[in-house]
Amino acid sequence: MAVMDKLRGEFIDIIEWTESAQSEVLAYRFPRYQNEIKMGAKLVVREGQNAVFVNEGQLADIYNPGTYTLNTRNMPILTTLKGWKYGFSAPFKAEVYFISMRQWTDRKWGTQNPIMMRDAEVGPIRIRAFGTYAFHVSDPQIFLRQLVVTDPSFESYEISNQLRDTIVSRFSDVIGTAKIPILDLAGNYDKISKLALETISPDLQTLGLALTLFYIENISLPPEVEEALDTRSKMGVLGDLNRYAQYQSATAIGDAAKNPSGAAGAGVGIGAGIALGQQMGTHLTPAGPPPPAVFFAVVNGTQTGPYDLGTLAGRIRDGSLTRDTLVWRQGMAEWTAAGAVAELQPLFAALPPPLPKP
């Protein structure tokens, strides 16, 4: 196998990289037998790629998309490093790295832990967020120096954690300084995304990368906060709670009528529903003054009345109603002498007691 590689290196000298559609490789070092490159070798750089020559660990020439016949005219930096004053004829050693310059889309980001923020209306609150972003290599030299170094095949997963951590950290800064109420966050995703894109980009530039897209898919609140907001929304929709309670009691009556235990059970269910409705009505009806007490009296063997307390007081003063007059009102078990009724005793207080019998 080594002999075939050597022969292939002697007679075939085309340097190229054909990456597959599913490839996640950002940088690829072209494999060559002892890294030897012949004069007149063909370098093929496809769209979405750059090629970087490295001589003894030092970056040299960079090539954009195109086909090149390698010679001293199109290898100025390497020619200087090698000291080729009069051209070169013997094979030379150099490393060739192909850098994928295409855009890497649908990258996921999300907060592993909640972000604490202070809301003007709710106060301190924790939120979570997630979304997508896209990036590409913007500077092959910086990217090669800072990340690839000597890795023969640098893949996206090797930097995904660092990108995610950087994005989440800067996103937290943006949320904290934007001062947008939590109830208005959903309507400001575009604004927050643009602020985050501007804030994150400088950090990626130091790695030779550029953030091209940044999207927020969702910002969520703790379940208990969402439940409280839902309750608040329901109250706003319901409006008149008294009518809502009446509606609930009516619904309970309908549900009770569907009791599967038969007609008797349905009757009991309806009764329970009515009782519930009465109970709800009692709690929701504003309390008012009790109705005035009314009495009936027996005068000359005949039931008269009804009389309120004011009328009774007048009859007591003119003598037509005495302590011995039988009276009754709702709630009393039987007819009772007026003087023995607690509510009427104050009315007799201004009268002298009956005369003693001779």
CB 180 within 8 Å of CB 192: yes
Which DSSP letter does residue 85 get?
A: B
CB 13 within 8 Å of CB 71: no
Q: Is residue 354 part of a domain?
A: no
Q: Is residue 231 part of a domain?
A: no
Q: From CA 316, how far away is CA 345, in angstroms rounded?
A: 11
Q: Which domain holds residue 35?
A: 2-100
pLDDT of residue 266: 45
Residue 33 reports pLDDT greater than 70: no
- Taken in order 31, 34, 35, 36, the sign of the CA dihedral is negative
CB 88 within 8 Å of CB 39: yes
Tell me phi and psi for residue 53, to 5 degrees. -90, 135
CB 98 within 8 Å of CB 30: yes
Computed over every residue of the chain, the mean pLDDT equals: 82
CA–centroid distance for 331 within its chain? 61
Residues 95, 111 within the same domain: no
56 — alpha (psi -120 to 50), left (phi > 0) or beta?
Answer: left
pLDDT of residue 192: 94
Question: Domain holding 143: CATH number?
Answer: 3.30.479.30
In order of 111, 173, 181, 196, the CA distances from 184 in angstroms are: 20, 18, 5, 17
Residues 109, 219 within the same domain: yes
CB 320 within 8 Å of CB 298: no
pLDDT of residue 270: 47
Dump pLDDT digits (tens) for 261-281: 544 444 445 454 545 455 545
Residue 186 reports pLDDT greater than 80: yes
Residues 108, 211 within the same domain: yes
Can you tell me the mean pLDDT for 214-233?
85
CB 81 within 8 Å of CB 57: no
Percent of the chain with pLDDT over 70: 75
pLDDT bucket at 102, cuts 50 / 70 / 90: very high
In order of 75, 201, 278, the CA distances from 44 in angstroms are: 14, 31, 88
If one counts the domains in the chain, the total is: 4
Structure tokens at 150: 């000597």
pLDDT of residue 43: 94
Q: Which of 120-124, 231-235, 318-322 has the lowest mean pLDDT?
A: 231-235
Q: From CA 63, how far away is CA 120, in angstroms rounded?
A: 54
Residues 139, 154 within the same domain: yes
pLDDT of residue 76: 86
CB 28 within 8 Å of CB 98: yes
CB 106 within 8 Å of CB 92: no
CB 331 within 8 Å of CB 317: no
Most confident residue range from 9-23, 123-137, 274-288? 123-137
Question: Domain holding 329: CATH number?
Answer: 3.30.1490
Residue 332 reports pLDDT greater than 60: yes
Residues 214, 150 within the same domain: yes
Can you tell me the mean pLDDT for 344-352?
78
Most confident residue range from 26-40, 210-224, 280-294? 210-224
Q: From CA 194, how far away is CA 204, in angstroms rounded?
A: 16
Residue 17 reports pLDDT greater than 70: yes
Can you tell me the mean pLDDT for 79-95?
77
Residues 89, 22 within the same domain: yes
pLDDT of residue 356: 67
pLDDT of residue 12: 47
pLDDT of residue 105: 93
Residues 116, 202 within the same domain: yes
pLDDT of residue 231: 78
pLDDT of residue 291: 66
Q: Is residue 229 part of a domain?
A: no
CB 19 within 8 Å of CB 100: yes
Dump pLDDT digits (tens) for 300-330: 888 988 888 888 888 888 888 888 899 999 8
Residues 183, 217 within the same domain: yes
pLDDT of residue 198: 94
Residues 35, 110 within the same domain: no
CB 32 within 8 Å of CB 24: no
Show Cβ contacts of residue 259 under 8 Å, excluding neighbours closer than 6 positions. Answer: 265, 266, 268, 269
pLDDT bucket at 135, cuts 50 / 70 / 90: very high
pLDDT of residue 160: 93
SS3 123: strand
Residue 42 reports pLDDT greater than 50: yes
Q: Which of 29-38, 161-170, 260-269 has the lowest mean pLDDT?
A: 260-269
Residues 61, 166 within the same domain: no
Most confident residue range from 67-71, 208-212, 353-357? 208-212
Can you tell me the mean pLDDT for 16-42?
84
Can you tell me the mean pLDDT for 125-151?
94
Q: Which value, to the nearest 10 degrees, does the dihedral of the CA atoms of residues 268, 269, 270, 272 take?
A: 90
Residues 80, 148 within the same domain: no
Q: Is residue 134 part of a domain?
A: yes
Residues 133, 84 within the same domain: no
